[in-house]
Amino acid sequence: MACQPAYRCARSCLTALRADILPLYRPKWHSRRSYSIQSQEEEIARLPNINPNALSVTKTTTPKALVPPEELVFGRTFTDHMLSIEWTASQGWLPPRITPYQNLSLDPATCVFHYAFEAFEGMKAYKTSTEELRLFRPDRNMRRLNRSAKRIALPEFDGEAFTDLIARFVRMEERFIPSSRGYSLYLRPTLIGTQRTLGVGPPGSALLYLIASPVGPYYPTGFRAVSLAATSTAVRAWPGGVGDRKLGANYAPCIVPQLEAAKRGYHQNLWLFGEEELVTEAGTMNFFACVKERGTGRKVLMTAPLDGTILEGVTRESVLELARERLGAEGWGVEERGFTMGELAEAAEEGRLMEAFGTGTAAVVSPVRKINWRGRDIECGLKEGEEAGEVAARMKAWIEEIQYGDVEHPWSVKV
């Protein structure tokens, strides 16, 4: 039999695939006469959204003993309850429930296990010196979770309504938040596809849930600068991908490179991209560098732009806004632009690299002491015995005074 042209063979295979398999994936609301993604989205948009007034609460009958604050390990201790909201393509968002913390019961064929329909957020609740409870910029987390959901065909939701429910949940779990400065309640909203199917398609059901874990200071005895291994053989994100979304699928592939960096004595990877070796992120954090411009000596705080490969970090945005407002008044430049590892190394050699740090919910800022690149360590401006640069220390102080309510600020939302 004569060989078919490659494009004709691929087209016939795709036609057969559609004929054999797509009917198995068709959601209940799919029209048998026509397939229109737009009409499906319109139908879903008309379904009921999250309704905080429909919340039901079932309190635990076996409250957990509190772990002493000094013994808390990140992500190991959980509170008494969880918040969950189911969604179906035929009914929309069902009434939310707060129940005792418990295991999920999911069929082995649930699509999240097979095709990574999962997005999540990381946020914290804080207790002020007057025992008030606060959230930090929750609207940004809701916006990002919705963007992540949309990218992987999971249902979007009313962010303000979910924030209302988070606030109620936090009030219930208040006893788990130590009153000491530096402690908080880490909140993990998670959205997963729950349809029982091996078919690849938009999930017909989903679950949005929230669990919480009391956590202590990231640096209990003060700043500890980290070292990074510049990595270009493994790529964290690429143009057109999902590196700018907070998906679980983005994290697991980064573990092996991190372990390899650790074997060489480095805490995390500094992810480089392309032949130019553009600096993108540090481990799971956004990355900032402070440099002096050659010739003018002007101080500049710079970070990679949101080009589709960079996660839109809430702390990143906060650092940029505070820098433009406060450092800008001191003559600093604040830039979101692409820069290369070679550029950083050159600045270090010329004494123009002042400091570098990562930013994220867990640590707020994480100072960087050195970066290993092409077989040599690039020092990042810290003096011997110094664990943080001036900008990193100021940013941490500025953000934490907002988070803990020392100053009134629109970013700090009372619960």
CA distances to 23, 42, 194, 248, 399 from 200, in Å: 11, 21, 13, 18, 43
Q: What is the residue-level pLDDT of the chain in tens, covering all 415 positions?
A: 444 443 344 444 434 434 443 333 344 434 333 345 566 677 888 899 999 999 999 999 999 999 999 999 999 999 999 999 999 999 999 999 999 999 999 999 999 999 999 999 999 999 999 999 999 999 999 999 999 999 999 999 999 999 999 999 999 999 999 999 999 999 999 999 999 999 999 999 999 999 999 999 988 777 899 999 999 999 999 999 999 999 999 999 999 999 999 999 999 999 999 999 999 999 999 999 999 999 999 999 999 999 999 999 999 999 999 999 999 999 999 999 999 999 999 999 999 999 999 999 999 999 999 999 999 999 999 999 999 999 999 999 999 999 999 999 999 999 9
Query: Residue 257 and residue 236: Cα distance in Å, rounded?
Result: 10
Query: Residue 194 and residue 104: Cα distance in Å, rounded?
Result: 11
Alpha helix ranges (H) inside 80-124:
111-115
Q: Whole-prediction pTM value? A: 0.89
Q: Which long-range contacts (CB under 8 A, 24 or more apart) does 62-67 make?
A: 62/100, 66/175, 66/176, 67/214
Query: Residue 322 and residue 327: Cα distance in Å, rounded?
Result: 7
Query: Residue 290 and residue 327: Cα distance in Å, rounded?
Result: 12
Query: Residue 391 and residue 204: Cα distance in Å, rounded?
Result: 48
Half-sphere exposure of 23 (CA within 13 A, CB side): 6
pLDDT digits (tens, 9 = 90+) for 275-322: 999 999 999 999 999 999 999 999 999 999 999 999 999 999 999 999
Which letter does DSSP use for residue 123 in this model?
E
